[in-house]
A = this chain, B = another copy of it.
Amino acid sequence: MISEDFRKKLHTIIYEADTRAGRLFDIILLCVIFLSIVAVMLESVASIKIVYGHQLAVIEWVITILFTLEYIGRVIAVREPLRYVFSFYGIVDLLATLPKYIGLMFPGTGFLIAIRAIRLLRVFRILKLHNFVGASNQLVEALKKSRTKIAVFLFSVVVLCVIMGTLMYMIEGPASGFTSIPVSVYWTIVTLTTVGFGDITPLTPLGQFLSTIIMIMGYGIIAIPTGLVTAQFMNEKAHLNTQACPNCGTHQHRDDAKFCYNCGASLK
């Protein structure tokens, strides 16, 4: 049905960003995605929906058709369509086309906004564009490598918040708005992360004293994730490589090392 030649051409346009046509396709796609998101956002504003509701519905139809065509194109352009269909972006792409169709069958389902918002995930394709690949890879790498430490840190922070939240609940009680332990833990997280909404605030001297301790802790321990990530970024730059010594297997040699620092065997 579809000539191999046509498929190759389509593949280059849709999936690659190195040719002119491919880059153009990506940029147009991004614009359409942004437009679709803006339409969802505007539709949620009551005053705008009343006046421009019709126009927004038309835009939604146009976008749905464009996304449908693009989805069909993506399925055609690859040799193993099923692998694409069940990949993360395959599902995201499909969900991006569905809301309007489902809306036709079951009118008035509110959670369709949620599905339409999923379209935003498509935006991350932008990172495929040439100048962002390196930067985003480095960011992701650095985060991946400090993963365990960040997990231990976050875990300790959450445990700390639960303990402090329980204490605050016992000190302040429902009279000050600390109506239950979960609410109290919510307040503790609001305070420790230095967000500080002010919807609930301690009123007793003891509660205020404990609050200041929570705040100073929150102010201080932010140094930990920052230090972790910074150290990781620096390490990337520090020129310690992951080559293993052919003789004893040790890692983390200097980039300019000629001999293993552990057994003295030549690394070259």
A182 contacts B41, C-beta separation under 8 Å? yes
In the complex, per-residue mask of A229-267: 1 if CB is within 8 Å of any chain B CB, else 0 = 111111111110010100011111111111111111110
In the complex, per-residue mask of A175-202: 1 if CB is within 8 Å of any chain B CB, else 0 = 0000111111110011111111111010
Contact stretch, chosen from A3-11, A21-29, A71-79, A142-150: A142-150
Q: Which residues of B contact A40 (CB under 8 A)?
A: 166, 181
| Contact pick for A152, options B135, B198, B250, CB 8 Å | B135
Q: Is A85 part of the binding interface, using a Cβ–Cβ cutoff of 8 Å? A: no
A215 contacts B230, C-beta separation under 8 Å? no
Instruction: Give how many A residues have a beta carbon under 8 Å from the other chain's beta carbons.
Output: 114
Q: How far is the CA of A135 from the CA of B134 in the complex (A)?
A: 27
Q: How far is the CA of A265 from the CA of B263 in the complex (A)?
A: 10
Contact stretch, chosen from A55-63, A96-104, A155-163: A155-163
* Chain B residue at minimal CB-CB distance from A251: B256
